[in-house]
Structure 1
Amino acid sequence: MDTKAVFTTLYSVCEENATFFSGGAKGSQGDAARRLVDVMNLIQEHTRSLEPVICGFASVYHHFDFDPHIPANGYRSLVKVVRCCILHIIQKGRYITANRRSIFFRATHNAGEMEAYCNALCQLRALLYLAQRMLHDNKHGNLFFQDESGLSESFVREYSTMHKGCFYGRCLGFQFTPAIRPCLQTIAIGLVAFGENYRRHQSGIGVAASSFFTSGKYAIDPELRGAEFERITQNLDVHFWKTFWNITETEVLSSLASMTSAQVKVNRALSVPPVPFDLPLAGNHRASVTIPPPSAHIGTAPIQMRLISYDLREGQDSETLLSLSRSEGGAISLSLGLKTKRIPSSPCLLIHFHGGGFVAQTSKSHEPYLKSWSQDLGVPILSVDYSLAPEAPFPRALEECFYAYCWALRNHHLLGWTGEKVCLVGDSAGGNLSVTTSMRAAAFGVRMPDGIVAVYPATLLTAYASPSRLLTLMDPLLPLSVLSRCLSAYTGRCVCTQVEKVSTLSLVRKDTALLFRDLRQGASNWIHSLLDSNRASPSPTTAGKAPLGHSREFPLGFEPLRTEQPAEMRMKSSPVVKDPFCSPLLAPDSMLKGLPPVHIVACALDPMLDDSVMFAKRLRSIDQPVTLCVVDDLPHGFLSLLQLSRETREAANICMERIRTVFTQVDTPPEPRKHRKLERTDRCVSASSGDTGPLIVCPMEEVELTAGKETRIVDGEVLVDVAAKNKTDADGIGP
């Protein structure tokens, strides 16, 4: 279905339903029927204005792709999200058409559904207008407006005042694959319930109990959930996010995750003393350089790491390594038996830097996919638990990651590694650290890694505007206000005051009286939540709108919905963000030319997609080996959602295959590899309905269509049978 057909279908569905309910037809239900008529007409109004804008983007956004075979950039993503929203409206409109005469038809519920998507469409219309200005003001082919005044400042100002709750209620995660939406909904309900009880002076178990009792009202009232989600993301500081994200580090949840992940022979937490040592120079092995221990901000301290190995290899049970083991939960983290067979050292080592916005999580919350990789790749993995911001801002994490990398080179015999090949891999913040650690290795003149695999990396930590960053308005995992707080913490500009941090299990040992007090208070909160659930939540359709002409960013006569609680967004950033070791996208060519082959795996719907696309372009422009693979329909952080769906598992396997490429083909381009059901991104219609797995944008020679279909390649184009071809878009979304 092409773009013209999508709009035509929408107009037809809305007009037909509006006519039915406005004519007083049998089955219409008073006020609900009038609401349905109004929302159908408003949807048509928004769509008529959007149609020429989308067609305009479709004619030019190919200029911003990495190459013709990888159609991905922020402009395409925005158009895809709008199309996805329209397809949802068509689907719900058709449901209304088919069921409106039934005695079981709930007109009020369906009116609420359509109003929610109408509000989302209104806000998406505003985002496309902002993207239009970016397209006009940016340099040709550049996705970032590299100035923190003007356009970037306007974007932050608009974000802080625009209503966002509609994207966190009924429409939560509508742009992602259906398999992942229940998980996102659970995270959102847990977040708002946790946020409601976060600042209360209770024991940890009391916070958990209260959150459990109060979560019910957010599950049954999506509008209330959306409003509370917006309040939390705009008002609570980085310490709240650190506490919430670290829930996965608790013993209960980590044990559950461990039970469902691969069982490994070695899973050992290490604490390496901060002592200087020498490493030979890469260009002259007779000379050496001293590697100093990390010292920024918090002084010298042991560097924390985790060694994971599916098999017990030589050196991994040595007395020297055992002396470096640290306890976890009162016991040494070992998975060894007396009769465990030791096998020879591996020629390859994977060094991993975890994500978490530079402020949260450790290797423990990333164990599930690391264990799987260790089993499937047959290599040991060393994951670095670097110090976190805001207590340890830049460059502390980079210093520790570089020190850990050099320590692994020097002590390969302890890790079950021969010292031959090493790959750095990181996701999100860890992707940034994997690149900057390699840059630091080049600066010191020591051996470079054989390759880098950066998964949805952050390569530009400034407040520069880009089309993909407009997605922060609706992203449930990376709202702009949260992202900016994390980056401010990492760059040393965190001005939030330290609040009393509450951990769900940290105070479990409080006496019985406190426990019963907290449970009693939790039950009281639950009762109040039920009484409050009937309160009318603020409706986005009646949310305060600025007077017409309030903003110069939008055409006369249009204004997006505005929030009642504007976010406190500070535009001015620290000069640190422009440091090449902080924002590698801004590094001069001379620093990037020394990098090893870089393999980037990004997400088409990730607010940080443009970071990956532009960084890949930078590397290619200086003839550095680089590959870019873009996974569709999955959110930022899909590695942490590995076990939730087939789509996330397939995407994680792509990352693993990129690592395998580093280990097997260091000096030559990667061989074409095949994915199951990997097709072009222009299959967004079928993807939105859940017919396919994740859509992977890879070079065409790497694409394998569904088994059993005839394929052939003509002039670089993959041709399929007529049935498959009819599923692709004809509006230029593909290359």
Structure 2
Amino acid sequence: MDSRPLFQALHVVAEDNVAFFRQSASETGRRFVAAFTAIGEHARRLEPILRHFASVYHVFDLDEATPANGYRSLAQTTRCCLAHVLHKSRYVAANRRSIFFRTGHNAAELEAYCAALSQLRALLYLAQRLLTHNRPGCLFHHEERGLTELVLREYGTLHKGCFYGRCLGFQFAPSIRPFLQTIAISLVSFGENYRRHDSGLSMAAGSLFTSGKFAIDPELRGAEFERITQNLDVHFWKSFWNLTETELLASVASMASTPVRVIRALTVPPAPFELPLAADPSLSITISPPVAHTGPGPVHMRLISHELREGQDSEALSALAPAEGPLGLELWRKAAPAPPSPLLLVHFHGGGFVAQTSKSHEPYLRGWAQELGAPVLSVDYALAPEAPFPRALEECFYAYCWALRHCRLLGSTAQRVCLAGDSAGGNLCLTVTMRAAAFGIQLPDGIMAAYPVTLVRAAASPSRLLTLLDPLLPLSVLCKCLSAYAGTEPAEGEPPGLEKLGPVNMVRRDTALLLQELRQSASAWLGALLDSPGRSNGAGAEAMRTSVSEAALDDDSAVKSRGSRKSQTCQDLSCGVSAPLAHAPAPPPQGSPPSFFLSGGQLEEEAPGDEGLQYPDGFEPLRSDQPSASITLEASPVVKNPFMSPLLAPDSMLRGLPPVHIVACALDPMLDDSVMFARRLRELGRPVTLRIVQDLPHGFLSLSQLCRETRQAAALCTRVIREILLPPEPTPPTAPPSPHKHRKLERTPHSGAA
């Protein structure tokens, strides 16, 4: 995109406004002069930076048909901010002589966008640093510390309030900004009344009385939003996000949702059962219930079906849903149930691994049940920090296996099965499938992962720099959620003394149990394969044996592997897996510009060994007046487990995945997770698609009924799932007719007419 017309117009209007307001001796006039002067300076420095990024960011795309990566998103966000500044500057130039012109309001608007430009300029400098230090084509920084630590330290001190006040959500579609403003006002009001042991409903009621001041004072709202994201712990975010689970909000959402015949909350007891092996159905494997952290316990699910099907009104299913009682069965039995569907959709909800349930995601699940004609089973897995990794994975895997074993109770024959999930749920779709491949059971026919997180750690990437201005996913909040899933955030009510010691040791113990179970299950499966008659090729078994052994590295070997850096590429990103890696795309073609810092419009090559961050031209971004956010790099080996971060999985594990379809957002801090994971699958020859949604934030599925853009994005996810469950019939190639037949057809009408 050519940005020259934008910069030329901005320079002209800024100079014109400076010349006009210099004639004013008022304080407001001086504010206008200072704002337009700073805008002109920022624009002059940003123009060569954006031009440079435009010349190189195509290298990081998945392919020519999918132009998306964090560098593009940063440049797009900066151009969007400049376009808002240009629009506001033209408005000031056209109305500055009017008696109705609100000088104080417009000066404050320009100052806010000027501050936003300053912080975006700092982000672009950080992105240039990543561009210089990262391996060719790799979006994540490959070292544990160094640049990632520097980015986290900068984030903790940078001013962010300007992005949560007047500039809130400027980068997103205009139709969604009022909703984001409502969320921001609700968040800061909720935060002002937050007490950890109070009920969410009482805090929400108290927030109504304090929300007015944040609605009329954007600067106050921005400052309070920054304070909350800097200081409050993961339990605050659990409480706020779980407001969608309250009966009042759930009832309102239900009234606006698609009506369905069947909604049943199920509680499946922790009992082992047998599943046949995919390679030899005459053999079976035992599926054990989840045991991590709290021992065997039931798994909660929600069944949603647009129409009543055979099995959904059975006594066996009713025994798993006693709360509904006989009344629900009596109402259902008024109509004859439809036959089982050949399709089944298993869903894992999002919520950062720490919040929400299938209930808050029910509105769009109802739409899926109607449009796809398939029963939907949504899993309410245990949440962190009370139940960190691998409890959620164990429960989701157990639920998937249970659905295959008892599909008739769900109203399905499970001839075609799809896994679908968003955000944290997308991560669980991938890791559950990897575990199913290790067990040797039936895999889903495809995966639909919406904006998934594939690297569960604080890692520097250009798209994750967008967390500085994202109102739904600030970096400090993201890191708290990921740390909670990794087991390093204290659970509710834990003594302070357990904060550092207890969870990590528990995670190490339960990860060892998980991997031991995987080894045993994989060994049984491999033994069955090797003992099967007629199997002479052991290459597949050997590949899986290597895969499982690599995934089962213990904590000590994972720690030792951090000292070896000789042959790392994008895959290992400090992972404990030592498989041969070759995932980075080809280096940029000859003639592509290298990575530079820009100073005064001149390109200056950065010294590779420079670990300090010095902004060029004496530029210094705005600093926060809040205490620095406590964001630390996670040193526990559990964060490198491929069943936690599928981006770190070895090739042999990823080769076992079915077709993966990813729907990502161009402005999502998690965009690089999707791009890099799709690139790894593409280079391994696995079927994968990556579809990019423009101008929407992370979590758009939960906002599917909000506006036209979110409805279209949700419809895209529905189409992807339909392609998995109902693949188009291959059309047989038709041979062209012979020339003789053509001549015969041409002569027939003529002879008939004669």
Scaled to the shorter chain, the TM-score interval is: 0.7 to 0.9
Q: Work out whether 1:616 is the aligned partner of 2:678.
A: yes
CA–CA separation in structure 2 for the residues paired with 1:18 and 1:198: 45
Judge conservation of contact 1:269–1:307 (CA < 8 Å) in 2: yes
Judge conservation of contact 1:357–1:428 (CA < 8 Å) in 2: yes
CA–CA separation in structure 2 for the residues paired with 1:575 and 1:654: 37
How much does 1:209 deviate? 3.0
- What is aligned with 2:705? 643
Q: Where do residues 82-101 of structure 1 align in structure 2 (5 Å cutoff)?
A: 82-101=78-97
Q: For each residue in 1:225-278, what CA deviation from the matched residue of structure 2 results, as whole angstroms up to 9, or x when unmatched?
A: 000001001111011100100000000000000000001000000000110001
Give the 3-state SS of the residue equivalent to 2:347 in structure 1. Answer: strand
Give the 3-state SS of the residue equivalent to 1:453 in structure 2. Answer: strand
Q: Work out whether 1:560 is the aligned partner of 2:621.
A: yes
CA–CA separation in structure 2 for the residues paired with 1:497 and 1:163: 30
- What is aligned with 1:389? 384
Judge conservation of contact 2:189–2:211 (CA < 8 Å) in 1: yes
Judge conservation of contact 2:184–2:225 (CA < 8 Å) in 1: yes
Q: Work out whether 1:194 is the aligned partner of 2:190.
A: yes
- What is aligned with 1:48? 44
CA–CA separation in structure 1 for the residues paired with 2:327 and 2:235: 29
Q: Work out whether 1:159 is the aligned partner of 2:155.
A: yes
Q: Work out whether 1:344 is the aligned partner of 2:339.
A: yes
RMSD: 2.0
CA–CA separation in structure 2 for the residues paired with 1:495 and 1:23: 59
Letter in 1 for 2:674: S
How much does 1:33 deviate? 1.2
Q: Where do residues 107-146 of structure 1 align in structure 2 (5 Å cutoff)?
A: 107-146=103-142
CA–CA separation in structure 2 for the residues paired with 1:47 and 1:331: 69
How much does 1:573 deviate? 3.5
Judge conservation of contact 2:200–2:243 (CA < 8 Å) in 1: no
- What is aligned with 2:449? 454
- What is aligned with 1:14? 14
Taking a change above 3 Å as real, the CA distance of residues 332 and 144 of structure 1, as seen in their structure-2 partners, is: farther
CA–CA separation in structure 2 for the residues paired with 1:285 and 1:450: 17
How much does 1:556 deviate? 4.1
How much does 1:554 deviate? 1.5
Q: For each residue in 1:533-579, what CA deviation from the matched residue of structure 2 results, as whole angstroms up to 9, or x when unmatched?
A: xxxxxxxxxxxxxxxx9962421411110011111111233211110
- TM-score norm. by structure 1 comes to 0.82
How much does 1:97 deviate? 1.1
How much does 1:462 deviate? 1.8
Give the 3-state SS of the residue equivalent to 1:16 in structure 2. Answer: helix
Q: 2:488 aligns with which of 484, 487, 493?
A: 493
How much does 1:203 deviate? 6.5
How much does 1:636 deviate? 0.1
Please say which of residues 332-341 and 446-455 is displaced more in the overlay. Answer: 332-341
How much does 1:665 deviate? 2.0
How much does 1:337 deviate? 3.7
CA–CA separation in structure 1 for the residues paired with 2:69 and 2:420: 23
- TM-score norm. by structure 2 comes to 0.80
Give the 3-state SS of the residue equivalent to 1:365 in structure 2. Answer: coil
CA–CA separation in structure 2 for the residues paired with 1:334 and 1:219: 48
- What is aligned with 2:640? 578
How much does 1:340 deviate? 2.6
Letter in 2 for 1:618: R
Letter in 2 for 1:563: S
Q: List structure 1 segments (4+ residues) > 6 angstroms apart after TM superposition.
A: 200-203, 330-335, 666-669
Letter in 2 for 1:581: F
Please say which of residues 482-491 and 568-577 is displaced more in the overlay. Answer: 568-577
Q: Where do residues 298-309 of structure 1 align in structure 2 (5 Å cutoff)?
A: 298-309=294-305
Q: Work out whether 1:365 is the aligned partner of 2:357.
A: no
Give the 3-state SS of the residue equivalent to 1:442 in structure 2. Answer: helix
Give the 3-state SS of the residue equivalent to 2:661 in structure 1. Answer: strand
Give the 3-state SS of the residue equivalent to 1:643 in structure 2. Answer: coil
- What is aligned with 1:402? 397
Identity %: 65
CA–CA separation in structure 1 for the residues paired with 2:306 and 2:330: 10
- What is aligned with 1:473? 468
CA–CA separation in structure 2 for the residues paired with 1:232 and 1:592: 39
How much does 1:2 deviate? 2.9
How much does 1:668 deviate? 7.4
Judge conservation of contact 1:148–1:463 (CA < 8 Å) in 2: no
Q: For each residue in 1:40-81, what CA deviation from the matched residue of structure 2 results, as whole angstroms up to 9, or x when unmatched?
A: 000111111111111000000000000011100000000000
Letter in 2 for 1:125: R
CA–CA separation in structure 2 for the residues paired with 1:48 and 1:293: 61
Q: Work out whether 1:587 is the aligned partner of 2:645.
A: no
Judge conservation of contact 2:230–2:629 (CA < 8 Å) in 1: yes
How much does 1:205 deviate? 5.3
- What is aligned with 2:229? 233
Q: 2:438 aligns with which of 439, 443, 451?
A: 443
CA–CA separation in structure 1 for the residues paired with 2:261 and 2:404: 22
Please say which of residues 306-315 and 204-213 is displaced more in the overlay. Answer: 204-213
Please say which of residues 132-141 and 569-578 is displaced more in the overlay. Answer: 569-578
CA–CA separation in structure 1 for the residues paired with 2:441 and 2:42: 58
Q: Work out whether 1:626 is the aligned partner of 2:688.
A: yes
- What is aligned with 2:744? none
CA–CA separation in structure 2 for the residues paired with 1:397 and 1:305: 13
Judge conservation of contact 1:267–1:334 (CA < 8 Å) in 2: no
- What is aligned with 1:508? none
Give the 3-state SS of the residue equivalent to 1:630 in structure 2. Answer: strand
Taking a change above 3 Å as real, the CA distance of residues 426 and 48 of structure 1, as seen in their structure-2 partners, is: same
CA–CA separation in structure 2 for the residues paired with 1:270 and 1:33: 65
Q: 2:285 aligns with which of 282, 289, 293?
A: 289
Give the 3-state SS of the residue equivalent to 1:116 in structure 2. Answer: helix
- What is aligned with 2:547? none
Structure 1 residues not aligned, in runs of 5+: 501-548, 670-735
How much does 1:339 deviate? 1.8
- What is aligned with 2:169? 173
Q: Work out whether 1:318 is the aligned partner of 2:380.
A: no
Judge conservation of contact 1:605–1:634 (CA < 8 Å) in 2: yes
Please say which of residues 579-588 and 553-562 is displaced more in the overlay. Answer: 553-562
- What is aligned with 1:533? none
Give the 3-state SS of the residue equivalent to 1:278 in structure 2. Answer: strand
CA–CA separation in structure 2 for the residues paired with 1:372 and 1:420: 21
CA–CA separation in structure 2 for the residues paired with 1:406 and 1:628: 27
Highest CA radius of gyration, 1 or 2?
2
Taking a change above 3 Å as real, the CA distance of residues 451 and 203 of structure 1, as seen in their structure-2 partners, is: closer
Judge conservation of contact 1:130–1:553 (CA < 8 Å) in 2: no
Judge conservation of contact 2:348–2:396 (CA < 8 Å) in 1: yes
How much does 1:446 deviate? 0.4
- What is aligned with 1:521? none
Letter in 2 for 1:145: H
Judge conservation of contact 2:196–2:235 (CA < 8 Å) in 1: no
- What is aligned with 1:689? none
CA–CA separation in structure 1 for the residues paired with 2:178 and 2:45: 32
Letter in 1 for 2:231: N
- What is aligned with 2:734? none
Q: For each residue in 1:181-200, what CA deviation from the matched residue of structure 2 results, as whole angstroms up to 9, or x when unmatched?
A: 00000000000000000128
CA–CA separation in structure 1 for the residues paired with 2:139 and 2:260: 43
- What is aligned with 1:709? none
